[in-house]
Amino acid sequence: MSTFVDIANLKVSIPSADGLLQPVRGLDLQIAKGETLALVGESGCGKSLTALALIGLVPPPCRVEAERLSFDGQSLLGLGAADWRRLRGPRIAMIFQDPMTSLDPCYTIGSQLVEVMRTHRDLTAAAARARALELLTRVGIPSPATRLGQYPHQLSGGLRQRVMIAMALSCEPDLIIADEPTTALDVTTQAQILGLLAQLQDETGVAILLITHDLGVVASVAHRMAVMYAGQIVETGPTAAVLANPSHPYTEGLLRAIPTPGLTARGTPLGTIPGIVPAPRTPADACLFLDRCPYARPACAAPVPLLSTEPGRALRCIRPPDERAGEPGYTALIEAV
């Protein structure tokens, strides 16, 4: 698989009264054609800003710098507004978390879909409308003709997210960025939307960058995953391999913290990660997970690079699992909660 999206040393900085904040500090990421890559992390880790950098929507006064930020061989650094307009929609589409705030309440579903297609494609109004109908059918919306004439408030959350997906697909993009696409939805709706995304990817070969905090969502749809912590990637690899054998202590801690019926014993204490995320102004002159890591050693107080450990996997930690085997790690922390 060829590299389709290539990000090297991406930094997003915010000038503030307290000095320069850096919510994304040196991020490396590759996405291949047709694959789903999940970018996983907790709130404030910089995953949404990474997505916005990829679609040119990082709000001022934030600054975006990178060694490489390219999409299908084209550099995205320093693009003008007109260049971005040619990319956004036809090549890169975005699905946001909350479909209520990303659809315009004053226009019907149909007119919003038609507007996107007529902006980017040379289509007559009638042809665009026919295609809108076809798209709504494809994303599984019942009685699509009626829905075209309705306003966003007349649709449920699940239907609105289906409309967003239809809109993202309308210009046949090569990459869809989905930022927490199911977080605002009910659990049964979430499963249905994830199933729809996977099915559409099979049919169209679109690459998906899925931003989420939910490792259950990652497990069910992503081919590869990248775990983000404090603005950096700490671990990447094929989803099944990372979930089965997490290499980074942070990934291990996250997986221990999730109750899973059938796997975790009811009522027993869950694993926890002590401490809190470092502020985005902490200089990255040491491992950023140092203060919270049960495996930390004095040698961790130096910058840690993201290095390949085996084909397809990379790790930002000087103490990989075989090195820390036999240490109590998180299990020593459980009763200290």
Binding site for another protein (CB under 8 A): 42-43, 140, 156-159, 186-192, 194-195, 198, 213-221, 239-241, 243-244, 253-264, 266-267, 269-273, 276, 337
Minimum CB separation of residue 27 from another protein in Å reads: 19
Give the whole-angstrom CA distance, residue 103 versus residue 82. Answer: 23
Q: Which is nearer to another protein, 24 or 69 (CB)?
A: 24
Q: Which is nearer to another protein, 142 or 298 (CB)?
A: 142
Minimum CB separation of residue 150 from another protein in Å reads: 13
* Cα→Cα distances 44→41, 209, 228, 243, 318, Å: 8, 18, 10, 22, 24
Minimum CB separation of residue 40 from another protein in Å reads: 10
Minimum CB separation of residue 100 from another protein in Å reads: 13
Q: What is the dihedral of CA 244, 41, 196, 55, to 10 degrees?
A: -130
Contact present, 9 and 30 (Cβ < 8 Å)? no
Q: Which is nearer to another protein, 89 or 271 (CB)?
A: 271
Minimum CB separation of residue 89 from another protein in Å reads: 27
Q: Which is nearer to another protein, 255 or 284 (CB)?
A: 255
Preceding omega of 249 cis (within 30 degrees of 0) = no
Minimum CB separation of residue 61 from another protein in Å reads: 23
Sheet holding 224-229, edge to edge: 92-95, 175-179, 207-212, 36-40, 224-229, 232-238, 313-315, 307-310
Minimum CB separation of residue 274 from another protein in Å reads: 9
Minimum CB separation of residue 16 from another protein in Å reads: 16
Q: Which is nearer to another protein, 6 or 235 (CB)?
A: 235
HSE-CB for 107 with a 13 A CA cutoff:
12
279 three-class SS: coil
Identify residue 131 by its one-letter amino acid code. R
Give the whole-angstrom CA distance, residue 1 versus residue 190. Answer: 29
Q: Which is nearer to another protein, 219 or 318 (CB)?
A: 219
Q: Which is nearer to another protein, 55 or 178 (CB)?
A: 178
Of 179, 203, 184, 147, nearest to 40 by C-alpha is 179
Crossing angle for the helix pair 187-204 and 157-169, nearest 10 degrees?
A: 10
Q: Which is nearer to another protein, 135 or 221 (CB)?
A: 221
